Amino acid sequence: MEICDRCEEQSKKTRNGKPHEQLVKVDEVRIFTGKKPRGFEEQDYQCMTCQSKFTQSTDKNDLAWTLWQG
Q: Distance between the two ends of the chain, CA-based, in angstroms?
A: 8
> Which residue ranges make up the site for Zn ion (CB under 5 A)?
4, 7, 47, 49-50, 52
State which residue has the least CB distance to Zn ion.
Answer: 47
- Nearer to Zn ion by Cβ, of 8 and 27: the residue is 8
CB of 11 to Zn ion, least distance (A): 10
Question: By C-beta, is 47 or 57 nearer to Zn ion?
Answer: 47
Distance of closest approach, residue 44 Cβ to Zn ion, in angstroms: 14
From edge to edge, which strands make up the β-sheet containing 53-57? 23-32, 40-47, 53-57, 65-68
